[in-house]
Structure formats: C-alpha cells, structure tokens
Amino acid sequence: MIRAGIVGGTGYTGVELLRILALHPDVEVAVVTSRTDAGQRVDSLYPGLRGYIDVVFSLPELEPLAQCDVVFFATPNGTAMLMAGQLLEREVKVIDLSADFRLKDAEEWSHWYGIQHACPDLIADAIYGLPEVNREAIRRADLVACPGCYPTAVQLGFLPLLENGLLDVKCLIADVKSGVSGAGRKAEIATLMSETGESFKAYAVSGHRHLPEIIQGLELFAGTSVGLTFVPHLTPMIRGIHATLYGQTKASLEDVQALYEQRYATEPFVDVLPQCSHPDTRNVRGSNMCQISVHQPQGGQTVVVLSVIDNLVKGAAGQAIQAMNLMFGLQEDIGLKIVAFYP
C-alpha cells in the first residue's frame, strides 16, 4: 500500500486529490496538512469524505511527511520548492501541482512568479508530468511537475500537428475559457458569484503566467521556436476548460482527423471525437478525460482544434494521480476510471 501525503488539503485541488485517492485501491492517505485547520478531522470540514478518509489535518512538518512514499503539493506557488529537497533526500517521491518546477529557466520563473526560486538546482531533475509526452520519464521520476490546466488543454490540442510539422509555428492562437475554480479557493471580489454570474470576460491578455509553460511545451513538440497568442477567459461555471486553438495548415481535414485518431489511439485519457464534433465541458466534468475535435472551416487552411478538460481533474489532481500510478509501476488508469458528472 502506498502511503500518500497531501500538503494543502483544503484547496480545490487538495480536496479533489482526497476524493479520488479515497477510492484508490493501492493508496492510503496518511497525512493531510493545513495550517488553518490543523487538529480538525478532514471529514468534519468535508463531510462528503465521511467513511473514506480517517485523518486529522496536521501542520506541514517534515517528519510526518517523510514517513510517506509520495507527497502531493496542492499548494500556492512558492511552497513546494521550500520542502521538496528535504523530502527527496528522505527518498520520498514528490508530485507538485503548483508551478514551482514547471519552467526549466529559473530566471524566467522568477520573472513570472515574482519571487526568487528557492531550489533552482532541482528544476533540471523535475519531470514535466504530461503522460502523453513524458510517460517513460515519469515512470523513472522522483520529482514530477504537474502541468497547469490551461497548458494541458492547449498542449494536447496542438501536439499531433506540431509533432508532424503540419502547422505554421509562427502564428498559433489559443483562445481558452476557464471555470472560476481555476482561481483557487479564496475570497476575492473577482470570483464572487455576483461578480462572475451572467458575465464573461478575458483577462491577462498582455501575459498570463501559463504562457511561458505552454510555449516551452509547444517548442519541444515542434523542435523550434513558436509564436503563440494566448488569451484566457473567465466563464460563469465552476469546473471546466474549453480551448479553441487556431493554426494554419496545408493538410486536409481528413488527414488531420486521421492523425489525431492515430496519435491518441492508445491514450487512456484522450478521446478524439468524430470529425467536426463539438466537445462540451460538461462531458468531461469530474473525469480525467480530455476530449478533442478538429475542424477546417469552409475547407480553408485554418485548422480549429477544440480541446476540453476538467481543470481540477485532468488539469490538476487526476493528472497528478495518473503520474503517481506511473511512478509506482501501477496500471496507469487505476483509480481514475471516473465517468463524467451529468448534468
């Protein structure tokens, strides 16, 4: 049985880890930390976990966490990097759901996140946790940097075309919408229901923190520099990411459809829909699935890829558990065969 610890068990991604791991047949949730709720039972704060999680919130201290086999960091940016090195020294595997180890350039990370990186020497050791690209490296990893929610949807959407050199890499566009849970579990005016309900807006158009992460991945696929315009939007829903991706290609729609079907044929959590389908965020809600469809409006050279995920599952906790399964030699989809919520 794998002993798992969760640092930051009260945020949305932390609770999602608890929800999924509660039914994982090979995992015991041994430690769950929270500075504000230390001493309280987890199931007193989240009664939906009664009968599944029998743990008391504790402070994020090294010794209890060092008794785990794996520790998930479901924490704000800048937290995991303060403890990861000590846990790795104690032979504990670390899976970070924050951005601390995603970017390979420590100076660029500091530019986007506003603080100096506390352990830049570990960045090179961190494996980017996108299984569809780095599956074998994840199997051997001790430190995994889970992709962000926007980067997951965008990279999976563009991946087959870029791998095969079928896009003009200088003019890629990612127009992406997110539910408000992507902002985290905190009290802010901008994410109040009365502020977001019946409204829709773009934000961070001049530059979002996920931009360098997306570009880093796309350039790896393409083998060259790319030009990407990335515009995120906030939608009045709780869960979900909908990415509408644009590029220029000379390939036919039939060839593009066949390419996507072939590339993802053996991927357990990517579902390529029939040609010209329109994926809906509700059809992946609560699941670890990414659904993708491709279009070529009016038969022109513009290809439109639609990619949808649940930002809290495939965009965070589910993908982290997918990586954990690989790291411990388990079947990749164990504990993750979750049918989407409906309605």
Residue 139 neighbours by CB distance under 10 Å: 16
Residue 276 designated active-site: no
**Pairing of β 302-309 and β 241-248:** antiparallel
- AA letter at 50: R
SS3 80: helix
d(CA 91, CA 327): 13
Long-range contacts of 251-258 (CB under 8 A, 24+ apart): 251/161, 251/166, 251/303, 252/296, 253/294, 253/295, 253/296, 253/299, 253/303, 256/161, 256/166, 256/294, 256/296, 256/303, 257/294
Catalytic residue (one of 68, 119, 146, 149): 149
First to last CA, the chain: 35
CA distance 74 to 296: 39
Integer Cα distance of 286 and 23 in angstroms: 14
Q: Hey, is 151 helix, strand or coil?
A: helix
Active site residues: 149
